[in-house]
A and B are shown apart, each in its own frame.
Chain A
């Protein structure tokens, strides 16, 4: 097993005015692992994702992606270094069709940058990759449907598809099964496992059955600090976690 760290957070702090939301976060995510972050509401999970993905600036500390500092870089630069994310609220190009969404997500990773001298539809590699992704997402039939007309579950899977399409090695998923029925959630879990294969995955999730099914390792975030990291078994048996999060009182 490789022990290289895909993502490394050291002493990360974030405050909004006087309110300290993240207070000294330390986290190591190994390459190729599926790392799930759990924690009660308001623990700072989404803020942590915003810090990692470049959406917000850190107040203190460092974030490394494969050994390179990424904290305080703008989001597009973080993305180009190999990290992409999904959002709690579906975040797509709503007016575009499924294929257009996938094509847009592929353009940069296929090296087309800001080109204004070649046609998008003429790029065979992009087209092939987009069709292949649509098939893996089970969205082939909806290929020409605008994203805004898809069902919620389909939108979520398209978003995962776009996240993967941007060529990222590390993928952050913010509550990928939020607001879904049991069966829909199961489908999405399978989709995530199928789509992300070799990638490193960091997932924020509330649904504990999802957590234990998906995770290689789990970290528990409470009040802006990681209080425990370990395998699902270790976390289940950790007294501090039970007290803080799983709701069982320790006598």
Chain B
């Protein structure tokens, strides 16, 4: 696992992503200016903070949590109650810009309470406790309707709250800029935390808790502080969510939300700081856009997760990073064609697999399987053998070429190269 704390020396040139990414984020809503797109962008910001906070546990401290939504959701509910009281007071009270701070405070508070007994052990024990806590809080959310608003949830109005800078938060683009600002602040803070003694010892405790003890650190305390701070950032994301959506219900604390943040963080890459940023963005995008194209989007989501776990445990960022390193070291010379060939055949195989899944979904889920439906722009009948044969054919040819032609070819070229190096 890459220990990114290695990056020493503050080379100003290395700071370019911290300038470029926010600039791009500010420009985006002017390019994608539909209400839906701007909402989606805001959700991405919230998801990024949430995933970054999750990776403080999983990537940095080696703690696998199945209940991180607890802190996100409780932060959101507390922030929502405050927003409602501001609404009730006729728009007097805390400025809207600072509402996420309240969420963060709530996250920290519950993180400290639940952290005291969650972090005594890492590994399976920790995972099981978080799973139990998640179930506990979610079931409470349906029982204590005064606080959680029951199944309908709670809603408030962001434009009926004061603003620090006199901004009108009715238009969603203004809300988006607030999200960008908070995402930027949270990302910087989480990044800097990795550089501190606590951040270093979190890595140390992840790698070898015993050694950490024999240099004077109590692994439980290291985990506890990391856990509480991580819960704080999750609460911040929850508070921000209240502003973007103006409604919170039990979904904010349920297992699906906990699962989504785990999936997103892992798919992005837990060994890299930008992993959760990529993962959070991608998952939010897929959730919202893929679901408009296909009923099977949850399945694709799961397949992608399985593929990452099995073949690329360092996540999407890890794939790009290793390929980049190999390219930089000249490892692509003479075999770029083979690499592109593997990529291409792989994509063909995935295309075929998608066709098969879509056919199967239509065949088993539709009221009338013989009704014609559009598959990749072609109208087909799922009760016919032909579309099945073609789809399976494409999948088998694609994956077959990749595994039995492309891979051996690349291997031969790499072997030839290393032999040439020796000669």
Contacts and interface: CB of A to CB of B under 8 A. Distances in A.
B201 A104 contact: yes
B216 A109 contact: yes
Interface string A95-110: 1110010011101110
Contacts of A97: 6
Nearest to B192: A119
Contacts of A109: 215-216
Given A95-B3, A95-B207, A100-B5, A115 B215 contact: no
B313 to A, nearest CB: 14
Interface in B1-60: 1-3, 5-6, 8-9
Kindly name the residue among A80, A94, A104, A166 whose own CB sees the greatest number of chain B CB atoms within 10 A. Answer: A104
Interface in A53-102: 53-55, 74-76, 79-80, 84-85, 91-97, 100
A211 B252 CA distance: 64
Nearest to A92: B211
- Which secondary structure characterizes the binding site on chain B? helix
Contacts of B203: 93, 95-96
A24 B201 CA distance: 37
A249 to B, nearest CB: 41
Interface string B199-213: 111011001101111
Interface string A193-205: 0000000000000
A75 B214 contact: yes
Given A112-B197, A114-B197, A118-B197, A96 B207 contact: yes
A220 B218 CA distance: 33
Contacts of A116: 193, 196-199, 225, 229
A118 B196 contact: yes
Interface string A137-168: 00000000000000000000000001101110
A53 B204 contact: no
Contacts of A167: 216
Interface residues of B, number: 34
B210 A91 contact: yes
A120 B195 contact: yes
Contact of A92 (B200, B208, B222, B229): B208
Contacts of B229: 116
B214 A113 contact: no
A96 B3 contact: yes
Nearest to A146: B3
B221 interface: yes
B285 interface: no
A55 to B, nearest CB: 8
B190 to A, nearest CB: 11
Interface of A is mostly: loop
Contacts of B211: 91-93, 162
A97 B217 CA distance: 19
Given A79-B214, A162-B215, A166-B216, A113 B208 contact: no
A74 B213 contact: yes
Q: How large is the interface on A (under 10, 10 to 19, 20 to 34, 35 or more residues)?
A: 35 or more
A76 B209 CA distance: 10
A208 interface: no
Nearest to A94: B207
A115 B196 contact: yes
Nearest to B271: A95
A121 interface: yes
Nearest to A97: B6
Interface string A20-57: 00000000000000000000000000000000011100
A104 B214 contact: no
B318 to A, nearest CB: 14
Nearest to A83: B214
A119 B215 contact: no
Contacts of A107: 197, 200-201, 215-217
A84 B197 contact: no
Contacts of A16: none
Interface of B: 1-3, 5-6, 8-9, 192-193, 195-201, 203-204, 207-208, 210-219, 221-222, 225, 229
Kindly list the 7 A-B residue pairs having the minimum CB-CB distance in the complex, ordered from nearest: A108-B216, A75-B213, A116-B198, A112-B197, A166-B215, A105-B215, A76-B213
Given A104-B200, A114-B222, A115-B197, 9 more contacts: A75-B210, A79-B215, A96-B3, A104-B204, A112-B197, A114-B201, A115-B196, A120-B195, A120-B197
30 contacts: A54-B213, A75-B214, A76-B214, A79-B213, A84-B214, A91-B210, A91-B211, A93-B207, A93-B208, A93-B211, A94-B208, A96-B3, A100-B5, A100-B6, A104-B204, A107-B216, A108-B215, A114-B197, A114-B201, A115-B196, A116-B193, A116-B199, A119-B196, A120-B5, A120-B197, A120-B199, A120-B200, A121-B9, A163-B214, A165-B215
